[in-house]
Structure 1
């Protein structure tokens, strides 16, 4: 111990630590960067009224459709439907296939024409809601060299185009054209094919006009008449023309006379279909492919498919695709696809397509002639849209002769005869 007690060390009072000072943490850089974006997204949701959209229930509609599935596969249409809480799951099948196969599990179907729609409606045991939202003509899609060859042969005529541009559209005389297909009444001009059964492209001047050669027969490639509304409608045109521009079976009250006429018409038009074979798929995809011209000179498609291609082509390249052109048959056939609800969810979709102006507007932008106020088909809105986008609008058909499809039973007989169709397995729903 120290000798001097006064030298003892004085101890301070102990301190009670109540809180430890912490260093303030900085917000991570990636979070700081993301915050303004998240805030902007929240403001956008608040402004558009979609704040609760992620928490809403989306109803999936199970659908079976033919070529009009193009409409429901469009991204803008899908976006508009999602705003109403609907998503459409499309299973693609030809219209007649839809009409004759099982519909179990389906909420809605969308056959491309009235014959298939009637077959479906006749099978329903519930009150059905349906709508025909738009119409589209059946057309023959080809390429300029072949169209100009048909002009030279005297069976097609160019529609006028503005400012000296190449026309995208031609009117086709189906009576003269079927003579080219079967050679029955000889050549329509000074050229004719070498084969007695059908004319050939070189035989009617394709090689002389284009400097290229095609010794194949003049034929039209179509999908399977046993499954496809487009093929069945084309068959109706051929049958109408083969029957002297008269609907087969319409003027016979006796069963024997009607059956004899149907068989006679079927025999005359079957070679026009079976010579080129029938394809299970729709023809538009092949026609618009890079090798479309080598696949088939002429294909059966719908007008809306061609116009949608031209709109997309102009948006991408700033010009029309003037090598692909359309032949408008005279007499003409106008198809009316029908959206049919099979369940309550299906009815909900039908009501929306029938009433929503944005969905109708989008149909015009996809090349459809949309119905308004019960009119048969309004073309002016479509034509105005085409002109505004630098695309030639088709002219009204100069010949208003329209093909009226045969009675459903008669049409079924002709299709079965021409296509050698296998009887379908039907169900009651």
Structure 2
């Protein structure tokens, strides 16, 4: 190679190097694991879905719920029951309850309410009289007025000759007693209940009302020097108290409804006020009016609150059913006094709007809601052989609860006419004037 050629030859560093073939690296991607909290929750969510499918509530979150504004008295217990609330939601209904005594409902403004549910006919009539058009209503069940007490007090009344125990199956301790109201009122006013009315003070003055120790309560090892009386709610607001007044008025009027059949209204009014003057002290003995009688009576401190409380039968039976479920036995310390003559209350659900009509129709026809009423101690209205009391008695028997026996003396108290009853209530309770609906 000539020098010229050598001078043009590329030097070693300038010699191009062969390019290496690029390598493709495959990156292994890790599988994502299900988060632990999701794995734990998944079976629960699946179980919930299955439950919704079975119950038919799968689409419930997407349904429209109708809220019904309701003013109710003691029968609001029924609508507060969790199972009743569930059954109503199945039909797209939720009831917003405003609690008030029956007569309070009837005498106060009803503006904004879709339904009202007074516990008896007098308050229902007052409400219906205020309507300027026909309305839908239903009377789904009945409940006797009773006196809730405790065994030692009931046995004291037996020894005093005013109460009789009902027979219990198998000779056990009874839950129920029949109470002779004529003789019992003799204990309340300190006089012999069998005396003629003309022998009693016409102004209703209480001279010597009996005490519990005075009729032998302390012979059982206990002591109570307080007066014999029945603790009631306000007669100005409560159907139960008004019905109790009707019983007292019937007894004090020689087993006759004051004013009944009297064509002279002035004479009927005088008779009503005369009877009211004689029964007012029997109510005034308790002092301040009390509310929520059943809640107090059924509480742990019930016996220390009042020896005798005015309640409805269904409240006591519902307690016994629940007590049996939790303790597998009856609550034998609490017992009922069934007054003779007796009074039966008929709650009436009254619609005041289109939404209210829907609820009234449902309560009147739905078999599940009727069945639940029986389970809560109500005597549900049925026709034919399977009548008002048979299904309740069967339910009590199935659950190990003693079934009450009707007294042979079936004398029933019929409440006075609305005007006469209102006069008696106003006189005894010094009630404030009613509040009308504002336009």
Matched with 1:199 is: 210
Q: How many residues align?
A: 420
Larger radius of gyration: 2
Match of 1:320 among 312, 325, 330: 330
Deviations 1:4-54 (A, max 9, x none): 99x85322456899x976433222222223233323333333333322111
How far apart, CA to CA, are the structure 2 residues paired with 1:267 and 1:144? 32
Matched with 1:393 is: 403
Match of 1:10 among 13, 18, 22: 18
Matched with 2:364 is: 354
How far apart, CA to CA, are the structure 1 residues paired with 2:145 and 2:75? 13
Alpha-carbon distance, 1:83 to partner: 0.9
How far apart, CA to CA, are the structure 2 residues paired with 1:14 and 1:373? 94
Alpha-carbon distance, 1:168 to partner: 0.4
Alpha-carbon distance, 1:165 to partner: 1.3
Equivalences for residues 71-110 of structure 1 within 5 A:
71-110=78-117
Question: Which of 105-114 and 196-205 deviates more?
Answer: 196-205
How far apart, CA to CA, are the structure 2 residues paired with 1:383 and 1:109? 29
TM-score by length of 1: 0.93
Say whether the 8 Å CA contact 1:134–1:377 is kept in structure 2. no
How far apart, CA to CA, are the structure 2 residues paired with 1:301 and 1:381? 22
Q: In structure 2, the residue corresponding to 1:9 is in which secondary structure?
A: coil
Query: Is 1:244 aligned with 2:259?
Result: no
Match of 2:65 among 30, 36, 58: 58
Say whether the 8 Å CA contact 2:141–2:381 is kept in structure 1. yes
Say whether the 8 Å CA contact 2:185–2:193 is kept in structure 1. no
Say whether the 8 Å CA contact 2:65–2:89 is kept in structure 1. yes
Matched with 2:340 is: 330
Say whether the 8 Å CA contact 2:323–2:331 is kept in structure 1. yes
Matched with 2:299 is: 289
Equivalences for residues 42-191 of structure 1 within 5 A:
42-185=49-192
How far apart, CA to CA, are the structure 2 residues paired with 1:215 and 1:375? 49
Note closer, same or farther for the CA distance 1:144–1:138 as it changes in structure 2 (3 Å cut).
Answer: same
Alpha-carbon distance, 1:63 to partner: 0.8
CA RMSD of aligned residues (A): 2.3
How far apart, CA to CA, are the structure 1 residues paired with 2:210 and 2:192? 11
How far apart, CA to CA, are the structure 1 residues paired with 2:54 and 2:176? 46
Deviations 1:192-242 (A, max 9, x none): xxx94311111111111x111111111111111000000000000000111
The gaps in structure 2 that reach 5 residues or longer are 1-9, 196-205
Match of 1:310 among 320, 330, 350: 320
Say whether the 8 Å CA contact 2:183–2:193 is kept in structure 1. no
Say whether the 8 Å CA contact 1:124–1:428 is kept in structure 2. no
Note closer, same or farther for the CA distance 1:36–1:203 as it changes in structure 2 (3 Å cut).
Answer: closer
Matched with 1:31 is: 38
How far apart, CA to CA, are the structure 2 residues paired with 1:232 and 1:267? 15
Matched with 1:215 is: 225
Equivalences for residues 360-371 of structure 1 within 5 A:
360-371=370-381
Query: Is 1:266 aligned with 2:266?
Result: no
Deviations 1:52-98 (A, max 9, x none): 11111111111111110111111111111111111111111000000
Query: Is 1:423 aligned with 2:433?
Result: yes
Say whether the 8 Å CA contact 2:145–2:311 is kept in structure 1. yes
Say whether the 8 Å CA contact 1:221–1:277 is kept in structure 2. no
How far apart, CA to CA, are the structure 2 residues paired with 1:230 and 1:374? 29
Question: Which of 328-337 and 250-259 deviates more?
Answer: 250-259
How far apart, CA to CA, are the structure 2 residues paired with 1:377 and 1:412? 33
Equivalences for residues 223-238 of structure 1 within 5 A:
223-238=233-248
How far apart, CA to CA, are the structure 2 residues paired with 1:414 and 1:133? 28
